[in-house]
Amino acid sequence: MTYLDNAATTLIKPQSVTDAVTEAIKTAANAGRGGHGASMRAADILFECRETAADFFGAKSAENIIFTLNATHALNIAIHGIMGKGGHAVISGYEHNSVVRPLAFLGDKGVSFSVARAPLFEPELMVEAINREIKKNTKAVIVTHVSNVFGYILPIKEINALCASKGIPLVIDAAQSAGCIPVKLNDLTAVRFVCMPGHKGLYGPQGTGILVCRDGREISPLMQGGTGSQSHEAFQPDFLPDRHETGTQNAHGIAGLNAGIKFVCKVSELYRHERELLDYCTEEIGKISGATLYYDHKKQCQSGVLSFNLARVNADEVSYQLSLCDIAVRSGFHCAPLAHETAGDRMGTVRVSFSVFNDFSDVETLVSALKKINV
């Protein structure tokens, strides 16, 4: 298979990730639920991954790393925690439903939100748009770091500076940036939470994710239950990470996530590699008659994600025809209809997304197939 759907999940994992998961399945039991060796092995896995992630994402300590099921779970903890009692939020026009739907759900609790709309690949206009939407009762600004549809890298440093100047907490959805584009909590003073999955740019297994907290104790937990700590108490512990981690942790997946983060740490220039493939892909698809590409011509603020359409064939049919050629892409609205609306797309797009395991031959295979489909 020519796999070009890495923005959904990185299917091809480093061998170290497979090995770590396999070893954990054989040796790790339930962390915090016993003093025997298998339970302690699971606890060691969790703590080692917390340390790895805390260093990689600039967290204050290992305890400020909360394990989640995915980025959606992490975003729900952050959004419900900050906005659960009402108030106003500002989001960008490129948000995933993982941001939009929790905010819409909280509408019955007095939560409202404004959408900061600005053209694609115009970072200065995005900051201006967010500033316009901030109100007296704004409790948070919530933005994606990289659009999952268009690969648009939002100006996080400038948005952080704006939020810091107004004393407004910033929440970052790093689903498409974590592992590829640096995001460090200790460099971003307004950021309260960074939310991410483990199964994309961190090359970990599905069913893993991370919520990086500046504090986290000041918000209510999304779930309550067993933590293996303070079991005699009726209420959830008030310390991290137990405050936001309930039930048995995915020690097997987290072992793979730890290996994935370590792999990313060792591989240099991930972003440059993806951009080189993106530039080549854009150039070659641009030669196809009737192709429309959503592309940053200034080459300043786009990651290794490309959306496009062919005039003669709709996006879903293109994706299906490519699958018959054993080429994996994604089509449609990518769980982010707001992004399509903001960019002026009404039909959905074909999305190509790269990883460290792709090369130029993958682009050539894709383009060759597209030319046959477009006749």
Q: What is the CATH number of the domain that holds 354?
A: 3.90.1150.10
Q: By three-state DSSP, how is residue 294 classified?
A: strand
> Could you tell me the residue range of the domain that residue 108 belongs to?
15-266
> Residues 210, 340: one domain?
no
Residue 23: per-residue pLDDT: 98
**What CATH number is associated with residue 70?**
3.40.640.10
**pLDDT, position 268:** 74
**Residue whose C-alpha is closest to residue 250's, from 68, 11, 14:** 68
- Mean pLDDT, residues 296-325: 97
Q: How many domains does the chain have?
A: 2
> Could you report the per-residue pLDDT of 164-211, keeping only the tens digit for each?
999 999 999 999 999 999 999 999 999 999 999 999 999 999 999 999
pLDDT of residue 72: 98
Q: Are residues 260 and 304 in the same domain?
A: no
77 and 193 co-located in one domain: yes
Q: Which of 266, 288, 322 is the endpoint of a domain? A: 266
d(CA 190, CA 171) in angstroms, rounded, equals 9
Q: Are residues 115 and 240 in the same domain?
A: yes
pLDDT at 269 over 90: no
Give yes or no for a contact between 122 and 301, defined as CB atoms under 8 angstroms apart.
no
- Closest to 304 (Cα-Cα) out of 208, 201, 159, 202: 201
What beta strand segments (E) does 104-202 contain?
111-116, 138-144, 170-173, 191-197
pLDDT tens for 313-355 read 999 999 999 999 999 999 999 999 999 999 999 999 999 999 9
Same domain, 92 and 239: yes
**Which amino acid, residue 191?**
V
Whether 145 shows a pLDDT value over 90: the answer reads yes
* Residue 1 predicted with pLDDT over 80: yes
The share of the chain scoring above pLDDT 90, in percent, equals 97
Interval 202-221 mean pLDDT: 96
Residue 257 shares a structural domain with residue 305: no
Q: What is the mean pLDDT of residues 59-74?
A: 98
Contact between residue 353 and residue 315 where contact means Cβ atoms under 8 Å apart: no
Instruction: Please tell me whether residues 199 and 304 are part of one structural domain.
Output: no
Complete edge-to-edge strand list for the sheet that includes strand 349-353:
291-294, 305-310, 349-353, 330-332
Percent of the chain with pLDDT over 70: 100
pLDDT at 353: 98
Final residue before a domain boundary, out of 266, 298, 316 = 266
Q: Which residue has the tokens 């504090």?
A: 215
Name which of 175-179, 235-239, 275-279, 288-292 the model is least confident about. 235-239
Q: Is the pLDDT of residue 98 over 90?
A: yes
Tell me how far CA of residue 201 lies from CA of 118, 197, 207, 263, in angstroms.
26, 8, 14, 11
Arithmetic mean of pLDDT, 42-51 = 98
Q: Specify whether 276 is located in the same domain as 333.
A: yes
Q: How many CB atoms lie within 10 A of CB 47?
A: 16
pLDDT band for position 373 (cuts 50, 70, 90) = very high
Tokens in use for 34? Answer: 């016993």
Same-domain pairing of 287 and 261: no
| Same domain as 176, residue 98 | yes
Same domain flag for 129 and 249: yes
301 and 167 part of one domain: no
Q: What is the pLDDT of residue 337?
A: 98
- What phi and psi values does residue 87 have, to the nearest 5 degrees? 120, -175
Please give the pLDDT value at position 375: 79
Q: What is the DSSP string of 62-74?
A: GGGEEEESSHHHH
End-of-domain residue from the set 217, 250, 266: 266
**Across 241-249, average pLDDT:** 95
Question: Between these two residues, 193 and 239, which has the higher pLDDT value?
Answer: 193
